[in-house]
């Protein structure tokens, strides 16, 4: 029986290492229970050759007999190398403090990221984390070791939404590793002033990697089910606007649907996968994206 993870989605649980670890495991294992054939551990199906040990490689893959004979560290490679590098780039701007029905966007993102990372690690993949705004950068290089997952969660929990997305964004040299197969998850609400997020996202795609955009929005942002006279505040600029929700609804809905459609078409035209994730919808479907695209990279 699948365990219901929803009672665990509380800020005090999400923002603790033990709590977030539990949530990620419950969500991932619950999803895997219906996808047994998708889960495959280890470095490959059939031994092919040796290669020199590199920093970040799983020590369990070392060939100790070769070490004893040669005094050098070697990794066994397989005919089909099933290790990839899974990287997460998180938008940590202040709009991630938006909250609906008790769920804060950033907490939602932390749960998605931790769950996918847990599943990726169970596949034997390296996991890395980058998060930024215009006042802080988090950068954790991908590794495969089991203890790295707790370090990953610790860094994830420490992320606090603040300010805006920076004008001078993360150097692509800090993200790319052209020696490994890569799957990059860019997680954002895509609230931008001058295409600063979109430009970074499109530059991430190369012929050798897969890039996924998880567009995070709340139910109210998508459906605009507000009523009466309201004042809205931009969490990043602090600008406010007063509107009559009933009069503005049709205009807003047409505008957001046009925006979602054009965003999806633009990213797909660059070979980038796009998925809209709502705060009120189940989290498990995002794990299927990992399983599908890592298979594509094999």
Please state the rounded mean pLDDT for residues 161-183.
Answer: 75
pLDDT at 82: 58
Angle at 267 between CA 177 and CA 184, to 5 degrees: 25
Q: Which long-range contacts (CB under 8 A, 24 or more apart) does 59-62 make?
A: 59/145
Out of 15-24, 195-204, 217-226, 287-296, pick the least confident.
Answer: 287-296
pLDDT at 43: 42
pLDDT tens-place string over residues 280-295: 988 888 888 888 888 7
pLDDT at 223: 95
The set of residues, in sequence order, having a beta carbon less than 8 Å from that of 19 and lying 6+ positions away, is 8, 12, 13
Nearest residue to 260 via CA among 278, 245, 279: 278
Nearest residue to 99 via CA among 242, 257, 241, 217: 217
* Residue 91 β-bridge partners: 132
Q: Are 44 and 79 in contact (CB under 8 A)?
A: yes
Out of 43-57, 94-108, 145-159, pick the least confident.
Answer: 43-57
Confidence of residue 55 (pLDDT cuts 50, 70, 90): low
Q: What does pLDDT average to over the chain?
A: 85
Q: Domain 6-37+82-297 adopts which CATH fold?
A: Rossmann fold (3.40.50)
pLDDT at 44: 41
Dihedral angle sign, alpha carbons of residues 141, 188, 278, 263: negative
pLDDT at 1: 44
Q: Which long-range contacts (CB under 8 A, 24 or more apart) does 172-176 make?
A: 172/203, 172/204, 174/130, 174/139, 175/87, 175/89, 175/130, 175/204, 176/206, 176/209
pLDDT at 42: 41
pLDDT tens-place string over residues 2-47: 567 888 899 999 999 999 999 999 998 887 765 544 444 344 444 4
Q: Is the pLDDT of residue 56 over 70?
A: no
Out of 53-62, 99-108, 249-258, pick the least confident.
Answer: 53-62
| SS3 state of residue 43 | coil
Residue 176, phi-psi category: left (phi > 0), alpha (psi -120 to 50), beta (remainder): beta
d(CA 289, CA 295): 10
H helices within the chain, ranges in order? 11-14, 17-32, 64-70, 105-122, 147-157, 196-204, 219-223, 245-269, 285-297
What are the residue ranges spanned by the domains of the chain?
6-37+82-297, 43-78
Q: Are 25 and 118 in contact (CB under 8 A)?
A: yes
Confidence of residue 257 (pLDDT cuts 50, 70, 90): very high
Angle at 231 between CA 230 and CA 237, to 5 degrees: 155
pLDDT at 236: 83
**What tokens were used for 221?**
């942002």
């Amino acid at each position: 029986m699948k365990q219901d993870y929803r009672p665990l989605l509380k800020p005090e649980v999400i923002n603790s290492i033990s709590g977030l670890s539990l949530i990620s495991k419950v969500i991932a294992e619950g999803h895997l229970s219906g996808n047994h054939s998708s889960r495959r551990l280890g470095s490959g199906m059939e031994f092919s050759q040796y290669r020199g040990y590199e920093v970040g490689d799983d020590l369990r893959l070392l060939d100790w007999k070769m070490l004893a004979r040669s005094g050098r560290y070697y990794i066994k490679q397989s005919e089909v190398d099933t290790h990839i590098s899974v990287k997460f780039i998180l938008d940590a701007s202040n709009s991630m403090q938006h909250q609906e029905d008790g769920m804060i966007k950033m907490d939602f993102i932390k749960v998605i990221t931790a769950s996918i990372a847990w599943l990726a690690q169970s596949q034997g993949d390296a996991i890395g984390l980058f998060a930024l705004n215009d006042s802080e950068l988090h950068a954790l290089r991908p590794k495969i070791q089991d203890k790295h997952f707790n370090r990953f969660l610790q860094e994830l929990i420490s992320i606090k939404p603040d300010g805006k997305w920076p004008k001078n964004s993360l150097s692509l040299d800090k993200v790319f590793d052209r020696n490994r197969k890569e799957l990059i998850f860019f997680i954002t609400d895509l609230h931008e002033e001058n295409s600063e997020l979109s430009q970074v996202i499109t530059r991430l795609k190369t012929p050798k990697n897969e890039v996924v955009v998880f567009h995070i929005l709340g139910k109210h942002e998508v459906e605009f089910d507000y009523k009466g006279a309201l004042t809205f505040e931009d969490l990043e600029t602090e600008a406010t606007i007063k509107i009559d929700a009933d009069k503005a609804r049709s205009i807003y809905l047409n505008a957001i649907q046009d925006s979602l459609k054009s965003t999806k078409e633009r990213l797909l035209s660059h070979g980038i996968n796009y998925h809209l994730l709502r705060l009120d919808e189940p989290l498990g479907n995002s794990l299927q994206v990992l399983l599908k695209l890592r298979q594509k990279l094999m």
